[in-house]
Every structure is written in structure tokens, then in C-alpha cells.
Structure 1
Amino acid sequence: MLRPPLFLLLGLALGSCTVGPDYERAKVEIPATFRYADQEARQVSNTLWWEQFQDSVLNDLIRTALNENKDVKIAAARVEEYQGRYGETHSRRFPQIGSGLQGQRAKAPLNSGPVPLASGTNPIYENYQAVLGVSWELDIWGRLRRLDEAARAELLATEEGRRAVILSLVSAVATSYVNLRDLDRELEIARTTVKLRSDSYEIFKLRYTASVVSEMELAQSQSEYERALSTVPRLESLAAQQENALAVLLGRNPGPLVRGRALGQLTLPAVPSGLPSAVLEQRPDLRQAELNLIAANARIGAAKALYFPTISLTGLVGSVSNQLSDLFTGPAETWSYAAAATLPIFTAGGIAGQVQQARAIQQQYLLTYQQAIQSAFKDVENALIASQKSREQLATQARQIEALRTYARLANLRYDNGYTSYIEVLDAERSLFDVELSYANTQGAVLTAMIDLYKATGGGWVDEADRLTRLEPNPPTNRDRAAP
């Protein structure tokens, strides 16, 4: 008969066999360079890029969000859940030890049963047991190791998922803040235009009363005033909705927020540079996709191991006695050990189905991983294109505004001197108003494109932001709300 130490040595000797495929990183075709790379860009992807906006309010909002946002807290709790799952799975690779203590005192009937108690026998008897049991499944074919590998990969994938939430949150807060300042600027332009059109309309009413202008010109002046006025409620509604959305990202109830620097005062961050493979390997979503693939690959081996015998060792040592005082003395000692093996013979395709299922899941995660890489390159390319083209558009619109201001000034001079109708003035002012609003919108688009680029590259700044989640929040001070 084999002694327990020999069983242990046998298990350790055979435990080096692991069925199933080992993970190998999939080969993915990647471009050597980006189509719209900035040749003069600096490598800043590992810094807190939002600080380059030089807006202390934005810095405070992001720090508050990292500490109070509910999605971040949910993601952190999910990581704790998978830590528990991994701990449970990992524990199965080791011997399981348990103990038990039992005591019994009973009275046997005197005259019942096939053999009545002899005269003078005490019908009251006692029984006490104290045992220490050990059970251990020998991982000869590596099933438990594959399950352990899968659980560890899933834990790491969940952690990358938490980092992906941080990446998205920082980008969302920055984008929402830029959109809010964009709407504030558009609202400022609209209110200024309304004031100018209102003054003009009042003058035209006086002129009409004095029969200097026609009713048609008065109606044209009123029409432009009402047109400018109608944009104010729409922009006020959008700004309030943007405030509410940003407040929820901060983990707060919807409500007004403080403002920092104006849209035109926000400093444009530098474009992060680096080779595509080096930059995108830092993206949490790509890491998460690969770790899910690793876990699925390991589960193929765990499913294949079901074809082979399962061998378990059990052992027990303890003491049994009819007297509590004699429980741990002399002849009360008891022990046993055993080995058990099970081998599937006929499962009607059950194990084959599990293997097929595991392979299919692995293929799904493989394709998902490859698709995630392609989407990552698309995101970077789109952000680079948007950054470059929106800056070109902004420069064009700036020149257009200057031209329209000249046009409006000359149109008013021509009208005042009777060389043209008021329609020319209205056309110039209407075009200037529209382009000024478009220019503010493009300013926001330039900043948003840079935010999208940092989100797409997913640099080391995510680690820096992650550290902020472990710090005390630094909410904005009770400053007066800046007037939009």
C-alpha cells in the first residue's frame, strides 16, 4: 500500500503535464505610420494632458469625477468581485483541510430490539469524536492550472476594464466641459447680437414713425432681431443640459457648475507622438480584449482535461472515545487515507460539447481582439484627421469673420448714404452672426479632437489618473458662477 508521502510525490511528479494550447499572441497586420501624423509633435501621452488646458476648474472637475463618479466605483467593486473569484479558483490547487468535533450522549431502550440490554448495563452511553480531514485533487492533467490561468486573466481583464472606465471618464469630463464653454461662448455671441439688433430695431421704429424708412425695412429689421432672439432659449437649454450631464459625471445631482477660462483662452494640448504599436499597446480596452482571449484559450485546456482521469487523495486523523476525558489519550486515536480515481467512459458527447464550446468562445474573443485593434487604429486616425482639419477650418473661419466684418461695415455705410437697400446690410449681418457661431463651435471641435486623440492613444496618463482615484477629492471652491 502506498503511503501518503508517496501519493504526494506522485502528484507532484505528474503535475507538470498540462493539456490544451498555450497562449500565443495573434499576428495582426498593423500600419507602420499614421496617415495624418504630426511631424512636430512632442511625446506627452504619459502626462496629465488635461492640465495643458491651463484651467484650474477643469482640473478640479476631473479630480472630483475620479473620486466620486459612480461608474468608477462600480468598476472598482467589479475588480474586487473577480479578486474573490480568482482566490476561490486558485485555492482548488491546494489541499483542502477541515476539522470536525462531535459529541453525543444518548439512552438506549432497555427491552426493545432483537438483543435486550443485559441486566445491570447502563443504558446511557456517550460518544465523542475529533477529526482533522484532508482532501486534495491531484492536478495531473493541468485542469486546475488552466482554470487558475483563466481566472487570473479574467481578473486582470477586469482591472483593465476599470482603467478603461477611467480613460473614458476623464475624456468625457473634458469633452463635456469644452462643450459647455463652447455653448457659453455661442450664448454670449447670441446675446450680444440680440442687443445690437434690438437697438437697431428701436431706431428703425423711430425712423418708420418719422417716415424715413418703409414698413418693409422695419419688418426686415424686426425679423433679424427675432431671429437672433430665438437662438438664445435654444442655447440656454443646451447649456443647462450639458451642465446636468457633467454634474452626473462628477457623481453629483444635476445642477449649475462653476466656470473657468473662456473657450478662446483654453490652451491647445500638444499632439502625442509615438509608433502605433507602442502607443496603442497602452490602451486598456486592447489589454482587456487580449486578457479575455488568454482566459478563453486556457479554458480549452480545462475542457480537454475532462477526458482524463480525476485522481483525489483523502485523509483523516482524529480521536474517538466514549469518554470526553479520554478523547485525546491512548487507544482513542484513529486515522485513514484513501485514493480515488474517476474516468469518464461514456458521456454522450458531453465533454466533446464542452471542448467545442470552449474553442468557439476562444475564436470569438480572438476576432474581438483583432477587431479592437483595427478600431483602435481607426480611432487614432479619425482623431488625427479631425485635429488637423478642424484647425485648418478654424483658420479659414477667422479670415472669413474679418472679411464679413468689413463687408458689414461697408454695407452699413452704403445704406446710410443711400447707395444700397437694407437687404445688403441684413445679408452681411446675418452671415457674420452665423459664422461667429460656427467659429465658436469649431474652437470647441479643435479642443475636442485633441481630447479624442488622447483617449484613442490611451497613453500612460491613465496610470496617472488612476493614482488620483486613490487621493482625496479636491472639489471646486464656492466661487461665483461665471455668467455665460
Structure 2
Amino acid sequence: MNRYKNYRIFAILLICVAFTSCKMLAPVEKPEPTSMPDAYVSSKDTVNSATIKWKSFFPDKNLQDLIDIALKNNQELEMTLQEIEIARNDIRVKKGMLLPMISAGASAGVEKVGRYTSAGAGDASTEMTPGKEVPEVLQDYALGLHAVWEVDIWKKLRNAKKAALTRYLATVEGKNFVVTNLVAEIANSYYELLSYDNQLDIIQQTITLQKNAFDIVKAQKDAGRANELGVKKFEAEVLNSQSREFQIQQQIKETENKINFLLGRFPQPIERDKTAFVTEIPQQIQAGIPSQLLTNRPDIKQAELELFATKCDVKAAQAEFYPSFTINGGVGFNAFKTSYLFTSPESLVYNLVGDLTAPLINRNAIKAEFNKAKAEQIKALYNYQKTILNGYVEVSNELSNIKNLEQFYDLKNKEVQSLTTAIDASNELFKSSRADYFEVLMTQRDALESKLELIEAKKEQFNAVTNVYRALGGGWN
């Protein structure tokens, strides 16, 4: 009767512990989720350029070859792949914790107990066989298996495994995000290199024009139709353009080295066709609708998976407050002589123990871990919302940039055409002394700046298209 009474008291105690634990676990507070706009502009067309594979989006064969090399050799991408391997092994660790831990062991030893002890007195009064006492010095041999298994009653271990699996999937999305940025960075650097090549050509062509004008003004000075001031002005303009030529050459070198670094190789010439920069037209972008960012952008999917993993962490931390049930067992053979070791059932030993334990006093560490898990979950939720907002803003900015750059490029192209015509007119007027050297200099200078700005605008057009492709979530497939 007393035994049943003790069991009842023990059960009531466990119920009280569980009730107290549940009462202390406050729910995780969640901010209101951010709702996305229906469209970037008035159009709600669902066709999205992010679904285009990068090899189709970037038709330049030289650029395709560079991206292919980078995807094989880039160090940052290789480090990300190792993070995936780390996460994959973490899943194996968590999965293993759900299974019994079984170990095998063997031991050999010797023991002598005091005669005036309970064990010694018992051995002295015991006969191993009729007429043969137990010796004072005994050997001890053992061979067997031992198992420990925590029964996952509250799904603590399963939630830990689920969190590890989710974080593995998040690292895969993280790798995709690295690929997206890597493809975009190489493309932007490639178009920047092409723009420098074309700027260098323009400067060299301008130097030729300036030298011709310089020769004319020197001839006019010799004929008494110009003075030393005009000669020096033209000479200074030639020298200024020649100095800019070396600046552009340095920028070309640095951009080539930047691309080589992204490709994971030492500096070497970059294969490219600079004429394609002038003739090629940037891709037409279809932005789709904002909600497609949730499925197309790897960083948003990564943030979503990280949020789910923190929810699993909170559930696992909650389970630490509840009683845990562990089963310990073993089976094997034990004897004081090797010839008796496998004698059954005399040498057979086994044990089976079930432990039910629950934290009662000084649970501050468990509370701290639980509160930490809650804070991590709320942090992950804010990060998820921030990532979505950042994605929308990036797309919105680049779409606006593309539209404005189209207008800017058209106007700048007309300006270049006008100034190119003006150069020919000023040279003819200067030869016939109907225009002074200052007008020729200013016309050449304005034409040079305008042509360089036109090339820069073309590069920005390519970069804007590349950036909106990246912002939409394209480039990793």
C-alpha cells in the first residue's frame, strides 16, 4: 500500500513540475508581417527576367567564359561550399542523437579485498568448489555491450534535428546568393573594362585631332597669324589628354586584375571584344511582381529558412524544462578466470535502468537559453522582413535607373553628334582665321568630355540591367 502511495506522490510531483514549467514559458512575441506592394509600377505582368539562365542573359561569349571559370575557382564560393558541408555533418550529429548510443568494451584487472571487510569476510566463507576457498587475490575479466538512449518524449531532439536540416538548406541558398552576386560582379567589371577600352580609343583619337590643330597653330604663328599664347594653349591641351591616357591605362590594368581575382587566378590579359560594347544593346528587363522575390531571391529564402530554424530552436529550448527519460542497459560476460568468461548463465551479466529526471532548483541557465532562443527568433523575423524590404528597394531603384539612363543616353548621344560636327566646323573656321584658337580648344574639350560621358552612360546602362537581374534573383541557376 505504501508503495502505491509513493508512486502517487511522485506522479503528482512530476505534474506540478511540468505545470510550473509550462507556466513560465511565455509565448514568443511576433511583430506584424510586412505586406508587399502589388506591383513595382502600374504593370502587373508576371513575366520575370529572373527565370532566365545567366548564359542566356549574357550573350557575350567572352563574358560567359569568365563566369564559368569563376564558378569553378572563386575562393569565396569554395568557402561557402565548405559551410554547406559543415551544415550537412551537423544534420548527421543531430540525427545520431535520436538513436541509442551503443558501445562495446572489454576489461581485465586484479583485485584483493581486505579480509576484515564485508566482501572479504564473504569470500572467506565461500567455497568456489567443494573444499576450495575463494582466493584472496582475484582476477577480473569482462566483455560486453552498453547502450544509452534518451527517449525523445517532448521532441527536443527532433526539433534540434529539424533546425539543423533547415540551416543546411539555408546554407545552400546562401551559396546561391554568393553565385548571384559573383555573376553580377564579374559582368559589371567586364562592362567597366570595355568602357575603359572605348574611352582610351576616344582619348587617342582626340590626341590626334589636337596634334593636328597644334601643328596648324604653329604654322600660323610662323606666318605671323597667331601668337605664342595660342601655341602654348594647344600644347598644354595635348599634354593634358596624354596624361589622361595613362590614367585610363592604369584603370584598365586594375579592372583586369579585379576580374582575375574574382576568377581565383593570378593577373593575366582578359579576352574581350571592345567593339561589342558599342554595338550591343542591353537586355530588356521584365520585373514581374514583387511577391516573386520570395521565391526567386536566394537571400530571402535563406532568411526564411533561418527564421524557421530559430522556431525549432525555441521548441527544443522549451523541452529542456520538461522531465527527460533515459534508458541505460548493458549485457555481457564477467568472470575472475578466462576459462569461465563465456560460461552461461553463471558468467552472464546484464542490467536495464530507466531514469526520469526534471530540473527543480536553479534553472536560471535553462531560462537563459530559452530567452536567448526567443530573442534569436525575433531577430531572425526582423532580418527576414528587412531582407524582403531591401530586395524590393533594390529592384525599384534599378528599374528607375534604367528608365532615366535611357533618356540620359539618348540626349548625350545627340550632344556628341552636335559637338563632333562643331569640331569640323571650328577647324575649318580656324584655318581661314574666322575663329580663334580658344573656340577650337573649347570645342575639342567639350567633345572629348561628352564622348567619355556617353561611354560612361552606356556602361551604367549595362550595369543597371545586370543589377536589376541580380536584384530580381537571377544568376544562380
Distance in structure 2 (CA, Å) of the matches to 1:38 and 1:264: 33
1:98 lines up with 2:103 in the alignment: yes
Q: In structure 2, which of residues 56, 61, 74 is the aligned counterpart of residue 56 of structure 1?
A: 61
Q: In structure 1, which of residues 29, 53, 56 is the aligned counterpart of residue 35 of structure 2?
A: 29
Shift of 1:370: 0.5
1:187 partner letter: L
Alignment of 1:322-341 (within 5 A): 322-330=336-344, 331-341=346-356
Distance in structure 2 (CA, Å) of the matches to 1:456 and 1:388: 16
Q: In structure 1, which of residues 314, 318, 322 is the aligned counterpart of residue 332 of structure 2?
A: 318
Q: In structure 2, which of residues 79, 91, 95 is the aligned counterpart of residue 86 of structure 1?
A: 91
Distance in structure 2 (CA, Å) of the matches to 1:38 and 1:59: 32
Give 2:396's aligned residue.
381
Give 1:259's aligned residue.
272
Cα separation, partners in 2 of 1:318 and 1:25, compared to 1, 3 Å: farther
Distance in structure 1 (CA, Å) of the matches to 2:261 and 2:171: 24
Higher-Rg member (1/2): 2
Shift of 1:387: 1.5
Is the contact between residue 300 and residue 384 of structure 2 (CA under 8 Å) also seen in structure 1? yes
Query: Which whole-Å deviations, capped at 9, do the CAs of 1:85-121 have from their partners, x for residues lacking one?
Result: 12112221222222112234x4869x99886998998
Normalising by structure 2, report the TM-score: 0.85
Query: Which whole-Å deviations, capped at 9, do the CAs of 1:40-73 have from their partners, x for residues lacking one?
Result: x964422323544432111110000000000110
Is the contact between residue 191 and residue 459 of structure 2 (CA under 8 Å) also seen in structure 1? yes
Is the contact between residue 430 and residue 440 of structure 2 (CA under 8 Å) also seen in structure 1? yes
Distance in structure 2 (CA, Å) of the matches to 1:222 and 1:312: 92
Give 2:457's aligned residue.
442
Query: Which whole-Å deviations, capped at 9, do the CAs of 1:235-272 have from their partners, x for residues lacking one?
Result: 11111111111100000123332223532133422313
Shift of 1:420: 2.3
SS at match of 2:50: coil
Q: Report which stretch shifted further, 124-133 or 356-365.
A: 124-133
Distance in structure 2 (CA, Å) of the matches to 1:424 and 1:138: 91
Query: Which whole-Å deviations, capped at 9, do the CAs of 1:324-383 have from their partners, x for residues lacking one?
Result: 344333122111101112211122533322222221121111111101100000011111
Query: Which whole-Å deviations, capped at 9, do the CAs of 1:112-144 have from their partners, x for residues lacking one?
Result: 988699899877754321211121112212221
SS at match of 2:267: coil
Shift of 1:398: 1.1
Cα separation, partners in 2 of 1:446 and 1:42, compared to 1, 3 Å: farther
Give 2:197's aligned residue.
184
Alignment of 1:367-406 (within 5 A): 367-406=382-421
Cα separation, partners in 2 of 1:345 and 1:124, compared to 1, 3 Å: closer
Give 1:478's aligned residue.
none
Structure 1 residue runs of 5 or longer lacking an equivalent are 2-17, 465-484
Distance in structure 2 (CA, Å) of the matches to 1:294 and 1:24: 13
Is the contact between residue 28 and residue 374 of structure 2 (CA under 8 Å) also seen in structure 1? no
2:75 partner letter: K
User: What CA RMSD, in Å, does the superposition of the two structures yield over aligned residues?
Assistant: 2.9
Aligned length in residues: 443
Distance in structure 2 (CA, Å) of the matches to 1:409 and 1:196: 10
Give 2:166's aligned residue.
153
1:245 partner letter: K
Alignment of 1:21-420 (within 5 A): 27-35=33-41, 43-104=48-109, 106=110, 125-262=138-275, 263-330=277-344, 331-347=346-362, 349-420=364-435
Cα separation, partners in 2 of 1:406 and 1:265, compared to 1, 3 Å: closer
Cα separation, partners in 2 of 1:174 and 1:36, compared to 1, 3 Å: farther
Distance in structure 1 (CA, Å) of the matches to 2:235 and 2:42: 47
SS at match of 2:142: strand
Distance in structure 1 (CA, Å) of the matches to 2:416 and 2:265: 39
Cα separation, partners in 2 of 1:220 and 1:102, compared to 1, 3 Å: same
Give 1:467's aligned residue.
none
Query: Which whole-Å deviations, capped at 9, do the CAs of 1:118-174 have from their partners, x for residues lacking one?
Result: 899877754321211121112212221221222122111111111111111111111
Normalising by structure 1, report the TM-score: 0.84
Give 1:468's aligned residue.
none
Cα separation, partners in 2 of 1:47 and 1:99, compared to 1, 3 Å: same
SS at match of 2:185: helix
2:170 partner letter: A
Shift of 1:232: 1.0
1:54 partner letter: P
Shift of 1:30: 0.5
Shift of 1:403: 1.1
Q: Report which stretch shifted further, 130-139 or 173-182.
A: 130-139
Distance in structure 2 (CA, Å) of the matches to 1:452 and 1:32: 22
Q: Report which stretch shifted further, 369-378 or 207-216.
A: 207-216
Distance in structure 1 (CA, Å) of the matches to 2:192 and 2:31: 40
1:314 partner letter: N
Is the contact between residue 280 and residue 376 of structure 1 (CA under 8 Å) also seen in structure 2? no
